[in-house]
Amino acid sequence: MMNELFAGLAVPSVEQYRQSWIPLGKHLSSSGRLNGGLRVITAADIDACDVRGQYSRFRCLVHGLRAIDERNPDLLRPDLKARINFTSRHNGTALRPREPLTPFVARVLKDAADRSVVATRERILSGREQIEALRNKPERSRFENVFLRVADGTRPARSEFDMFKYRKVAIAAASDLLVLTLPDAICFIIAIALRVEMPIECLRTLRRDCLKNPARGYVSIEYTKGRGGPRAKIKRERVRDGGINTPGGLVRLALELSRPAAERMADRGDPNADYLWVGFVAAGLPSWRRFSLSTHNFYAAIRSLGLVDEAGKPITKIVPARLRKTVKRDNYLRHTGHLRRFASDHSKPVAARHYAAVDGLREEHARSVAVAEGQLFDMAMMPLVLPPKEEVSALASGLSIGNQKLDAGAVASLVSGDADTFLGMCSGFWSSPLGRNDNGSCATAFTGCLHCSNAVFTARKLPALLTYLTWLAERRAVMTEAEWHERYSADHNRIMVQILPVFDAGDIEQARSTAENAAVAPALPPHLQRG
């Protein structure tokens, strides 16, 4: 009943709901009302189970009572119905999303998993040749017959164990020759998880028919997502398909290496024969069966890799769910934070809350904010550039600069050179937005015209702009990059990005010829020549 009621909720399993009822059962037992059923539960009983810091489990109890009341409206007491209208009397602490792996740890873990996959492939392929040669041997000893039986997944008897012990040969020397082992499967899962966006619990439950619609180097991996609700359980992810460096190639290799175990399990009617991650399991009764891919086994497999992080400390514990976080982080950066492309299998609020709002992306977010502020400032301070066609139109119909409107006569006076500075033309020398002297005149140096809303740039000022660019290049050659960038990059970018692209190539080439002709080239201001 619990499995049916809560199929659409984001919970790990029905076991969590069972655990949520234990505190209520203990409370009813202490008061001698355990045998009274749900009809004896009061609002005070629910409040007694509402303990600060246990919101997650207590939430399951309240949700369960709500579902029961929806199915049986006459079962619960009125005061209890009123109490379950809200979850807890305490403020639930917002859970911090898990952090992705650092780029260094992700890289070394991926490399180690890939090496393990290659080693597993070589071991099993060579093991199959060894077993085939042993099968074709005309006369085999008793130990060799036992060796073959163990390699085929048969559990050895006690006397056969003693034979291995007497010869100082490990059981794994035979059992690991034909199929995957638990550490092998975990390394395969890690290698796949660092290449796809699939949740780790979905990778654990892949079936042998999970590959669908291969075409043009891509294939779809079909998986079951238990947290997606009844209508969203079956999902597919389109991934690259090829060698063992692709997700599709890794799944195909795992299918091939686990095939003998799947066939043997199917022959004996094992219901788990349809799962992908099957092989030799040494724990309990050693045999070929489905692996227990628990978090504890993940930790043990990661410890066996012997990895160290960027600080030189051993990597002994990595929460499997962080693997998907790492892939999401990389995709987020690749899509430049575009949530519409980034939120592939969940809503945009979930993508922002669980995968984008992590400390590992805080530096990238700060850099993006700084770039956005710079772009907004550049847009707000976009210089007024008049190419020849627009200059003719302005001479005929006037021009708007900021909040002032210039008629045709004022525009003609402006472009004639009466209000020239070295780099542009000033439409408001006595109303500078960047600073004024005591007499009201502009107090900014001539390079400030590049960043002033009163400045106008026409084709007639292109030679001066190109001359200034040449001087900036000469200064860059004698200064450190950091110092030059701090002092002159804003001027350089304003000319190169926002002024020159407005003009045609012919206008710029003509201006360059003028700037290179010493007779007519505009002279640099004296303080620049001295610099």
In which residue are the tokens 């119905």 written?
81
CA gyration radius, the chain: 37
Which of these ranges, 170-174, 378-382, 406-410, has the smallest mean pLDDT?
378-382
In which residue are the tokens 């106008």 written?
456
Q: Which tokens is 301 given?
A: 């497999």
- Decide if pLDDT at 1 tops 70: no
Q: Which residue, 74, 80, 59, 52, is CA-closest to 12?
A: 59
Report the chain's mean pLDDT, rounded to a whole number: 81
Mean pLDDT of 293-316: 91
- Decide if pLDDT at 200 tops 80: yes
Mean pLDDT of 338-362: 63
- Decide if pLDDT at 133 tops 80: yes
Alpha helix segments (H runs only) across 31-141: 43-49, 55-71, 78-83, 103-135
Q: Which tokens is 286 given?
A: 């050693």
- Decide if pLDDT at 147 tops 70: yes
pLDDT in tens, 445-489: 778 888 887 788 888 888 888 888 888 888 888 888 888 888 888
What is the rounded distance in angstroms from the CA atom of residue 355 to the CA atom of residue 274? 32
- Decide if pLDDT at 108 tops 90: yes
Q: Which residue, 342, 89, 289, 29, is CA-closest to 179?
A: 289
The single-letter DSSP state of residue 95 is P
Mean pLDDT of 133-157: 83
- Decide if pLDDT at 117 tops 90: yes
Q: Is the pTM of this model over 0.75?
A: no
Q: How far is CA 163 from CA 146, 168, 321, 469, in A?
A: 9, 8, 43, 86
Q: Which residue, 40, 211, 190, is CA-closest to 115?
A: 190
In which residue are the tokens 């079956």 written?
234
pLDDT in tens, 3-39: 545 444 444 456 667 778 888 888 888 888 888 888 8
What is the rounded distance in angstroms from the CA atom of residue 46 to the CA atom of residue 50? 6
What is the rounded distance in angstroms from the CA atom of residue 292 to the CA atom of residue 289? 9
Contact between 414 and 441 under an 8 Å Cβ cutoff? The reply is no
Q: What's the pLDDT score for residue 455?
A: 83
Q: What's the pLDDT score for residue 68?
A: 87
Q: What's the pLDDT score for residue 275?
A: 93
Q: What's the pLDDT score for residue 251?
A: 95
Contact between 169 and 141 under an 8 Å Cβ cutoff? The reply is no
Would you give the end-to-end CA distance of the chain in angstroms? 84
Helix (H, G, I), strand (E, B) or coil at 450: helix
Q: How far is CA 215 from CA 203, 243, 522, in A?
A: 22, 15, 64
Q: Which residue, 306, 460, 436, is CA-closest to 388?
A: 460
What is the rounded distance in angstroms from the CA atom of residue 192 to the CA atom of residue 83? 46
Q: What's the pLDDT score for residue 350?
A: 64
What is the rounded distance in angstroms from the CA atom of residue 44 to the CA atom of residue 46? 5
Most distant CA atoms of the chain, gap in Å:
113
What is the rounded distance in angstroms from the CA atom of residue 224 to the CA atom of residue 529? 72
Mean pLDDT of 347-353: 64
What is the rounded distance in angstroms from the CA atom of residue 459 to the CA atom of residue 525? 20
Which of these ranges, 100-109, 149-158, 192-201, 262-271, has the smallest mean pLDDT?
149-158
- Decide if pLDDT at 321 tops 50: yes
In which residue are the tokens 């409206």 written?
73
Q: What's the pLDDT score for residue 431?
A: 77
Alpha helix segments (H runs only) across 6-102: 14-20, 22-30, 43-49, 55-71, 78-83
Helix (H, G, I), strand (E, B) or coil at 379: helix
Higher-confidence residue of 341 and 318: namely: 318
**Buried b / exposed e along 148-164 (16+ C-beta atoms within 10 A):** bebbbbbebeeebeebb
Q: What's the pLDDT score for residue 116?
A: 95
Q: Is 267 left (phi over 0), alpha (psi -120 to 50) or beta?
A: alpha
Q: What's the pLDDT score for residue 301?
A: 92
Mean pLDDT of 334-344: 62
